[in-house]
Amino acid sequence: MPAKKVKCIHCGTLVDEFVTECPNCGKPVANKWAPTKVSEAPWKWTPAKKKMNPLIPVAAIAVVVAVAALVYLRMIK
For the chain, which residues make up each domain, given as ranges? 5-34+52-76
Tally Cβ neighbours within 10 Å of residue 62. Answer: 11
- Confirm if 16 and 5 have CB atoms less than 8 A apart: yes
- The dihedrals phi and psi of 62, each to the nearest 5 degrees, come to -65, -40
User: According to the model, what pLDDT value does residue 27 have?
Assistant: 86
- Confirm if 60 and 37 have CB atoms less than 8 A apart: no
pTM: 0.36
In tens digits, the chain (77 residues) has pLDDT values of: 566 788 888 888 898 877 888 899 988 776 555 556 667 777 777 777 778 778 888 899 999 999 999 999 888 86
User: According to the model, what pLDDT value does residue 47 have?
Assistant: 76
User: According to the model, what pLDDT value does residue 45 have?
Assistant: 74
